Structure 1
Amino acid sequence: MGIVSALAIYFIIWWTTLFVVLPIGNQSQHESGDRALGTADSAPINARMGFKFVLTTILATVVFATFYLVTQVWGLGPDDFPHFIPGT
């Protein structure tokens, strides 16, 4: 795996992990009863994006390291698993 491929895969894993992390710990304005004018009821009160970016980076690094270990070090790929075709 080249460096460009590794960076592309890491970016995809990071972006996907961000969508998993985003809802963690959010409280909407509607839930708290404190609504700012001109905003939606569903807008978060304190999104803590810095914390979520750090958490996303840590989780994405762990997932990428696991992916790298399985595919590059152990050499496993999709063809190494048995194919199951129902009804045969």
Structure 2
Amino acid sequence: MRWYSILAIYLLFWSFTLFLVLPYGVKTAREVGQEEVPGQAPSAPANLSMPRKLLWTTLISALLFAVFYANFIFGWVGVDDIPGWRPSVAR
């Protein structure tokens, strides 16, 4: 696998993981006990720590990508191992 393919696949893992990590630990102003700013959505987060979210995203996506890449190298699970999967036959 070429380095730019590895980078592209890792960035896909990273962006998917970011959307999974974002909602965890978020509290609204009402849950924290703060007063809402006029015009603020009631569901807006009160104290969002993006550096912490980005760190968790990077760690989790690196772990998931490492498992993906190890499977690519060692061939633990292939297309033939997936039940019900029929690869198209070239004619």
TM-score, normalised by the number of residues in structure 1:
0.83
- Residues 45-54 or 23-32, more deviating: 23-32
Q: How many pairs are equivalent?
A: 84
5+ long unaligned stretches in structure 2? 86-91
Relative to structure 1, the CA distance from residue 80 to residue 27 in structure 2 (aligned partners, 3 Å threshold; closer, same or farther) is same
Counterpart in 2 of 1:28?
A: 28
5+ long unaligned stretches in structure 1? none
TM-fit CA distance, 1:65: 0.3
Relative to structure 1, the CA distance from residue 4 to residue 77 in structure 2 (aligned partners, 3 Å threshold; closer, same or farther) is farther
Counterpart in 2 of 1:15?
A: 15
User: Which amino acid letter does the alignment assign opposite residue 81 of structure 1?
Assistant: D
Relative to structure 1, the CA distance from residue 55 to residue 82 in structure 2 (aligned partners, 3 Å threshold; closer, same or farther) is closer
Q: State the alpha-carbon separation in 2 of the partners of residues 82 and 32 from structure 1.
A: 46
Counterpart in 1 of 2:88?
A: none
Asked if residue 46 in structure 1 is aligned to residue 58 in structure 2, the reply is: no
Relative to structure 1, the CA distance from residue 77 to residue 2 in structure 2 (aligned partners, 3 Å threshold; closer, same or farther) is farther
Query: Matched residue of 2:43: which SS?
Result: coil
TM-fit CA distance, 1:77: 5.4
Counterpart in 2 of 1:6?
A: 6
Counterpart in 1 of 2:89?
A: none
Counterpart in 1 of 2:38?
A: 37
Give the root-mean-square deviation of aligned CA atoms.
1.8
Relative to structure 1, the CA distance from residue 5 to residue 38 in structure 2 (aligned partners, 3 Å threshold; closer, same or farther) is same
TM-fit CA distance, 1:82: 4.9
TM-score, normalised by the number of residues in structure 2:
0.81
TM-fit CA distance, 1:76: 4.4
